[in-house]
Structure 1
Amino acid sequence: MTTDQPPQAGRPRWGATGLVLLVGVVVVAVLVGAGLLAWSLTSDDPYVAPTPKVVHPSVDPEQAASTLEAFEKAVRTHDVDAAEALAPEGDDDAEAWLAAVVRNAEKLRLADVSLRYVTDLGTPGSDGEWDAAVDSTWRMRGFDRHAATAEIGFHLRDDGDRVALTGAGSSDGVWPLWLHGPLQVRRTADTLVLVDGSAAEARVVAARARTAVPQVRRVLPAWQQGLVVEVPASVRDLERTLDADKGTYDQIAAVTTSVDGTTAPSAPVHVFVNPDVYDTLKPTGAQVVMTHESTHVATGAWTSQMPLWLLEGFADYVALRDVDLPVSRTASQIIAQVRKDGPPRALPSSADFGTRTPDLGATYESAWLVCRLLAERGGEDALVSFYRAMDGGTALGTALEQSFGMSVAELTQAWRTELTGLAS
């Protein structure tokens, strides 16, 4: 702490009034000290000096809302300079992030962008920074029919006479990939790929997305909406993007879900890749995963209530339909399991598809074999009709009878017989 000092023009000269004031100060000091001494001698409690109050910067909602409005405008108009001006003075990282987000928005052709300040998420720290809940909307033009809607955490800072913006993403809520930082973007008429990684990675993922679309349309020709694929930098970034618990996607190469975490029928649905798993796959396996997830997009599977063995098995049927590999490889895990324990007694349950299940790969393979069996029995069109009926709420027994003339028990037995034969 600094204290203003009087001018040093010379030694001070004390007059009568000055001496009285000086004596008064001394007397007051002595009296105060005597009072403390008397208190300490007559009280049973020890004297505790009061804790100094820590003064934190206060939240200014109006200025915060104004800053977010300015950022929204910069994103909408692709004004990098205006965005950079919202960073705290001298904060190069915040400035780079703001510029990157605006460039992402331009490359992704974001539309319907809105950012509305809702409330603070805590008291500002000593550096003046705090998190705010912001109602946000956005849409990827040409691919999303409706805007995503989510409450996103933004990082704000009291920067003197204004509120500055330093970043986004909080421990609670989704964190859209376009708000992470610089992205690689690849676009065709049917595919949009955004990657938090290298240009080489973006080229590879984009090529697989381009391959997946016609593969799906060979089975589902009515699907004409495009495919959006998002690739965060790591599985932990994937969890933060989707507001998922830690470990949820550790075994998963990719997942199809809404971008805003809602189950609203109008919510945009994209494929999200876990690079920690996906990048370890061989080219054929990586393409199967991409086509599998693209099938989920095409069928609106993420909100379906049908049994998971059909939902996942059908997606694998489409993905593996044109793959030239022997079943001994494409079903190697379930074959090994059957050799060890015999065939399962029932079709795979929802619990068998838990993301932390040890034998998850075998479960997916077994579900694929059910759908392959049905296609062999009744043809591909019958399988698609069966899938649609189940998606529409038809009971399993009824849908099986209508499409294949089979009962659930007959399907289960035929599937167990095929598994036994493959394992022998």
Structure 2
Amino acid sequence: MFPGLGRPRRLLLRALALVLLCVPLAGCDSGSATGPGSRPVSVTEREVRQAVAAWSAAPPGALAAIPLEDWSYEVSSVRTEGVRAFARAELRYRLTGYDAAPAGSAREVELARETGTWGVVADRPAPGAPPQLWDQGPVTVERGAHCLVLGGEGQGTGALSAIAAEADRAVPAASAAWPGPWAGKVVVLVPGSLDAMAALLGRPAGEYRGLGAVTTGRTGAGPAPADRVVVNPEGYGQLSAEGRQVILTHETTHVATRAATTAKTPLWLSEGFADWAAYRGSGRTPAQAAPALARAVREGDLPGALPADGAFAFGGDAEALTRAYEGSWLACRLIAGRWGEAALVSLYERAGRESLPAALTETLGTDPPGLTRAWQQELTREFR
């Protein structure tokens, strides 16, 4: 599923945008110097900021296996408690060769004053902020031809190698479906457990139980975001080989289409396109890949409209949610089959910039009611 809150699937889900904040590092040469917002900065605060800046000049040695660059902590506030100080900071970094824009997280750096000098004694997520994978324990790195897989504590090289092989197949499949520009590479995080996954995403574990994977990142134009596909090791492990490949291709397609996706893009189009890319060339029939919708149509419950965005919200009827995903896939499959794959891609690109009626008129020569009727006729033909 594509990023954003309230857009789940039993096996496909995206998660949460990582918002990167940048506050200038303050420095001064007197006790009366000013800091962020031209406020006065005490000598102690200045010394704490300087200590954090010196300490954060490079990633810790324990992270040497992870290809990191542009590592920095930018302090936004400092509080002191006697010989202890706590700096609120934003960690910013890139994964070398994968991130065109920085990833980041809010951190709390703890310092102690010994013999008149401040030194860092701890670095942890800021209160209320999600951790990084390495906060949960040692990280194992597995590289593929088109992917970087980072495994959390307890993940062995065998499982990570298998996921890297699946991601290496997912990237060309996403590129074949989406001819637009994108990095052609994907970063996959494999935490040690469902609870560890939920902690990384800052959400309750129950929201991801039974899911295969989610995608994080920002949507819209601008510098390519630092996307991550986050695997739920419990849900992913329950899937068949085909199911795992569908999951990773779906999520990788979301990474590929990221820059073309905006708040204007209907969820039926973004989710349907990702499933279309995942099933493309698989030979799976609608009856095989959309059993819940097939059952509903045969029982006389033909959908009256394409799935609305609300149909993908958290906490709804699981069967209805499944039908929404299946119907979205079949809508995109219909467009690709009747109007052509290039028309489907063009529709996706235009739907992120303009209204859906305008995008449909310009790319397919139809309107929302016309597309809905064609889709309903296709469902009837396939399932009755």
Normalised by the size of structure 2, how large is the TM-score? 0.76
> Does residue 72 of structure 1 match 2:56?
yes
How far apart, in 2, do the equivalents of 1:404 and 1:342 lie?
27
Contact 1:249–1:274 (8 Å) recurs in 2:
yes
Give the fraction of aligned pairs with identical amino acids, expressed as a percent. Answer: 33
Q: Deviations over 1:325-358 (max 9, x none)?
A: 3322211122223334611111101111113332
> Does residue 250 of structure 1 match 2:223?
no
Matched letter for residue 158 of structure 2: A
Contact 2:219–2:261 (8 Å) recurs in 1:
no
Aligned to 1:35: none
How far apart, in 2, do the equivalents of 1:264 and 1:374 lie?
25
Contact 1:61–1:117 (8 Å) recurs in 2:
no
Matched letter for residue 330 of structure 1: A
Q: Which secondary structure state, in structure 2, belongs to the residue aligned with residue 116 of structure 1?
A: strand
> Does residue 194 of structure 1 match 2:150?
yes
Matched letter for residue 373 of structure 1: L
Q: Relative to structure 1, is the Cα distance of residues 222 and 411 closer, same or farther in structure 2, using a 3 angstrom cutoff?
A: closer
How far apart, in 2, do the equivalents of 1:296 and 1:277 lie?
19
Q: 1:419 offset after TM fit, Å?
A: 2.2
**Which blocks of at least 5 consecutive residues in structure 2 are unaligned?**
1-43
How far apart, in 2, do the equivalents of 1:121 and 1:230 lie?
34
Aligned to 2:291: 332
Q: Which has the higher contact order (CA 8 A, sep 6+)?
A: 2
Q: Deviations over 1:72-107 (max 9, x none)?
A: 2351xx6x3xxxxxxxxxxxxxxxxxx3xx22xxx3
**Which blocks of at least 5 consecutive residues in structure 1 are unaligned?**
1-59, 81-98
Pick the aligned partner of 1:322 from 274, 281, 284.
Answer: 281
Q: Deviations over 1:339-384 (max 9, x none)?
A: 3461111110111111333232221111000000111111111111
Matched letter for residue 136 of structure 2: H
Q: 1:65 offset after TM fit, Å?
A: 4.3
Aligned to 1:108: 66
Q: Relative to structure 1, is the Cα distance of residues 398 and 221 closer, same or farther in structure 2, using a 3 angstrom cutoff?
A: closer
Pick the aligned partner of 1:231 from 190, 210, 235.
Answer: 190
Q: 1:302 offset after TM fit, Å?
A: 5.9
Equivalenced residue count is 332
- Of the structure 1 ranges 337-346 and 361-370, higher mean CA displacement relative to structure 2 is found in 337-346
Q: Deviations over 1:171-229 (max 9, x none)?
A: 51232224433112122453111121221221111111100111112122343512111
How far apart, in 1, do the equivalents of 2:146 and 2:338 lie?
33
- Of the structure 1 ranges 261-270 and 245-254, higher mean CA displacement relative to structure 2 is found in 261-270
Aligned to 2:89: 134
Q: Which secondary structure state, in structure 1, belongs to the residue aligned with residue 100 of structure 2?
A: coil
Higher helix share: 1
The root-mean-square deviation of aligned C-alpha atoms, in Å, is 2.9
Contact 1:209–1:291 (8 Å) recurs in 2:
yes
Q: 1:314 offset after TM fit, Å?
A: 0.6
Q: Relative to structure 1, is the Cα distance of residues 122 and 298 closer, same or farther in structure 2, using a 3 angstrom cutoff?
A: farther
Q: Relative to structure 1, is the Cα distance of residues 315 and 262 closer, same or farther in structure 2, using a 3 angstrom cutoff?
A: closer
> Does residue 408 of structure 1 match 2:368?
yes
Q: Relative to structure 1, is the Cα distance of residues 334 and 121 closer, same or farther in structure 2, using a 3 angstrom cutoff?
A: farther
How far apart, in 2, do the equivalents of 1:370 and 1:378 lie?
12
Normalised by the size of structure 1, how large is the TM-score? 0.70
Contact 1:374–1:383 (8 Å) recurs in 2:
yes
Contact 1:378–1:404 (8 Å) recurs in 2:
yes
Aligned to 1:349: 308
